A = this chain, B = another copy of it.
Amino acid sequence: MLTDPPADLSALLTRLERLHGLPREGRAALAGLPLHEADIAAGDDIVREGGRTGRCAVILEGMACGYRLTGDGRRQILCFHLAGDMPDLQGLHFGTTDAGVAAVSRCRVGFLAHDALRSLCEREPRLASALWRETLLQGAILRAWLLNVGRREAVGRLAHLICETVARHAAAGLTTDRSCDFPLTQSVLADALGLSVVHVNRVIQKLRREGFIAWRGGRLTVTDWEGLQLIADFDPAYLHAHRGPHRPERLP
């Protein structure tokens, strides 16, 4: 299913336009950049921690995650990346990334050379602005995660992650109902929530048993959205996914 048609930047372009108000010219220029594509198997690295590759990744299809490791090898997942995300914008400015990026499901990934992207940003400040905005949005999500891990107990933590994931799929135009792809393993989920696999398993069962979610074969459906939001203490404001008339503030 990932082989044809060859993926392109459309998910990214849609995203930059819908969420960050990137105008036509910027999109056209971006679409014209040379794009090096690759298929990455689930679990493999897309960007290695501390790598110095001279290029930026774009997730074209599939789901990825950013992560960091402790010295003794425990992993914390920092963020999930959907199609259209650019997980390592940091490299554009610093040359290196402090965090690795791994494929959660099988991914089709595009790579843009830093040089090319940098000079495009120079010519097209609206693009730079949109990418800066994207960086800020990733920061907001990170803050929500830190609150989640630091101050919510396990059930709320999982519920919140689920709400966020469904909401982000919706905001990116990747789903229209309360369901989405959720190709995670329970052990991946554990690394994302700062919990153990065993406990994650128990919490999932609780959410299933009580009728909040259905999750089978990589597909997640929220069966009680209001209820789940409630136990998750979820307020989607931080996603800045203003639906309706779309008027993001901008660096004009």
Contacts and interface: CB of A to CB of B under 8 A. Distances in A.
A92 B136 CA distance: 10
A125 interface: yes
Interface size class of chain A, counting residues whose CB lies under 8 Å from the partner chain:
35 or more
A136 B251 contact: no
A125 B122 CA distance: 8
A146 B149 contact: yes
Nearest to A75: B151
Contact of A150 (B89, B121, B194, B237): B194
A56 to B, nearest CB: 12
Contacts of A146: 68, 76, 78, 142, 145-146, 149
Nearest to A72: B233
Interface stretch (A22-30, A94-102, A168-176): A94-102
Contact of A140 (B90, B128, B193): B90
Interface of A: 50, 66, 68-72, 74-76, 78, 89-90, 92-96, 98-99, 114, 118, 121-122, 125, 128-129, 131-133, 135-136, 138-140, 142-147, 149-152, 193-194, 233, 235, 237-238, 240, 248-252
